[in-house]
Structure 1
Amino acid sequence: MEIFTKAKAVKLRSHLEKYLVADDDQETVRQSRNNSGKRARWFVELVHDKPNVIRLRSCHGKYLAATDIPFLLGMTGKKVLQTVPDKMDWKLQWEPIRDGFQIKFKTWCGKFLRGNGGTPPWRNSVTHDEPHTGGTQRWVLWDVEAVQVPESDSVMEYISSVSSFSSVSDEVLEALSDGVLGSGTQSPISVVSSLKSPRFSMVSTGSPKQTNSNKYGAAMDLFLNVKAVRLRSHHDKYLVAGEDEESVSQDRNGSSKNARWTVEFVLGFENIIRFKSIYNKYLTASNQPLLLGMTGRKVIQSLPKRLDSSVEWEPISAGNHVKLKTQYGNFLRANGGLPPWRNSVTHDIPHRTATQDWILWDVDIVEIEDKSPPAVPHADSLNLESTSPSAVSAQSSDSYVDSPHKSEGRTIYYHVVDDNGEVDDEAVEGYSFRFKGNNVAELTQKLMEETGHEDIVVCTRSPLNGKLYPLRLQLPPNNADMHVVVVVPLGSKVARNFAK
């Protein structure tokens, strides 16, 4: 739900890698591989008195509605259309429910938004239904991409559409008008979020995962203020990055530098992380089968141009161990047995009791971030003394913990865009320097000195869509290393756009 409270508009991508689009007839919706037009963009509106419910408005000003009209006579699926608000407002309301790394959208009647496949007339159609066969279970799962709305789109149109609902308070509308029209810098969604309206977990109230929400927090606590870890499998072997810079395997030598994995947190998610090898490549859940005809998929090192969910892992507590879940609902698994299974690493769901422990990992901390002053929230959230020794072992003899004077501040890695707004060789680490402050203005001044350019714009790259966004807020308080992009006034389109 957090992405919907922060994003003004989103794109929804189905399991078939097609996007939900609003047709020009201003009534039908369908799936399309073309996501470049505004028809694939859906404005997000929060329902004021229901913090776990949203509405989705098309570019035509109409709302995504779950109707009670059958898609085909005699079939279970009901039509999903664009419509205008009426007395049956509940048909326009959708409850986002998290399922792994994806989202299900629940309707007023307990069904789910479904992107259909198969032969016509099912192909590319969109209905709301509950899948009854295993082959269609993933048809109700959607990837959510936050998108920027061009300033040319009327903000007043957004406000007038919101005001048409009695469930929106005058306080929200007044904040929208003052925030958007007064300052000209805040989006409607950001203003609504600033009102501290109640939020809900991305797991629905009735979901079994809700009862395990504390497990995510306990698992994530292991990684707070942690810069690098080693992952030890049930076989007492460590997850290591192959020297070919692609393969991943297990090895008993935990002191090897190849067993070190840098931890990165994914912006916008509180329980998702990435692991980077010493070769600056990410631990990736690929679609490649380890062996033909077998269920396990390869886990590799990769560096995609756009960081997607294949490099993201969700830590889940399991007693004194941790399970690492992929977007596919599988788990990082350390295999045993005879070759070629021995020492291999895949992602899978264990189906036999004998392999249940193969997805359990111990986390060994090898480097921690320097703690911020006590006045900063969460600065002392990592307490090694109170952490279970069987879950996390702070290594002393071969650890990589920095001395206090060396870990003071954070490392800033940066690239500079060229005339076309492209980053030159972003696959490499880029330039870097140590920075002690938490202020964007100070960082900008330092980067001006480093680059020799004036009037620069410091940007970050969104993990959702790969686009550059200006860095305007305070820097993270935990002194975490940062990767930024410097836009210089070289006459590029990017520079002109960000200078506005």
Structure 2
Amino acid sequence: MEFFASFTSIKLRSHLCKYLLANDDRQTVRQTTKASAEGAIWSVEFVEGKIGAIRLQSCHGRYLSATDLNFLLGATGKKVTLQTKYENLGAPWSVEWEPVRDGDRVKLMSWCGTFLRGNGVTPPWRNSVTHDEPRFSSTKGWILWDVEAVDETPKYCLLMSRRTWSMSNSSDEFSASGKSSPATPKSVRRSSTFQLKSCSANNLRSAMDFFRNAKTVRLRSHHDKYLVADNDEESVNQDRSGSSKTARWSVEFASGASSDSIIRLKSCYGKYLTASNQPFLLGMTGRKVLQTLPRRLDSSVEWEPVREGSQVKLKTRYGNFLRANGGLPPWRNSVTHDIPSRTATQDWILWDIDVVEIQVQSANHKAATIEHMDSLDFNPGSPPSASGKSSNYPRLESTDSTVSLPPKSEGRTIYYHVADESGDVDEDTVEGSSFMFKGNGVEELTHKMEEETGIKGIIVCTRNPLNGNLYPLRLQLPPNNATMHVVAVPESSKLGKDFEKQRLL
């Protein structure tokens, strides 16, 4: 918004170095190389009650509008036209645009999540302007615009800047004619019609709206393949077929005051989509995404949806994104979590959301919110399939009867990190793990951690609260099954050898 906050009138220049122009027919727009054209100047209006939304008014007094009309039959682009405010009493959101900063340029997002695009190549696309989602790397720059301030504001822009288009007044006038004022539509995936729905226009800003009332969803990647749970009940990958039950994921919402934007995704096998700390390939940045049923629901199974137009990115707690890989094996059809470092792979973290089933709430029954108990309070000795079955789709059931939960398992929770060969631990960025432990001895804990980590010959260490240094754990474990935070240091590491030299072992 900083591009528009200080200006009453601007010019928008596309990647083709052409300016957005309002044609003399007062209905259409196109691109022109003539920066001095009067129609290339647009007056900026801020939408009342909506932070981050603007309208652009042409020299003819008409507003830049994202319509629902196809630019060409069979093509994805929709027409961008000029409309007056009186033409938009039933759909005022069509003339509202949300600036999204991209470096030193902006993208203008429409009401349905598409972006204002300056087209190129051969006619009829040449010099045309549509709103669309670029699907190819070569057209990603077509939705980027440079904003140029107009030094001398024309008189018509000064007049327009004094006007305000009050949405509430327009609604009152519309209601006075004997018709009710329709609400602003909720943005849905690839919405293509002006459907009047009873929700606020501000709902268009949140990625959680893709999941808010969803019971089960499918996630479709940039490669037009679906995220599927492998039948080994451990790995995940991509597949063309979205009809299989393995492509369906149950949506759960994390509980807690700071979890309004956090979800979990559970496979048909009752296991959670998990961002593990295991590298997918040695020497590569991507880490494995698995199906797991942890004893405790930690941050590794939590995902934060981030909206990107009409698609979403799923972010882990430490800033990585769920990524659908392409290319040659072993990357082909694999799924990792990573941060794309190349422009060609930026789209690999974008997902289309298909809502398969919706969550219906009646007046008498409300959908139960998911609690940590559904995967934490189970008997560790029971088979995984039984525990998965008992907790499958827990939030979708609603009953008046009393549900008896299994007794809490005895033992303590051990949170741990694994030090590298130098003995360093990056606890701020590397996600830790946890397990339940029954016992009080250090030797028992050491053997258990060797099983959990798969590393033979480790030293269980704790951090001194005074100086933050690591020291080997030598005494009995704290009483009353108190939770512990430890670090597994390999004996072969530099720090492990230092402990041996200092005779701390």
TM-score, reference length from structure 2 = 0.35
Larger radius of gyration: 2
Instruction: Calculate the TM-score normalised by the size of structure 1.
Output: 0.36
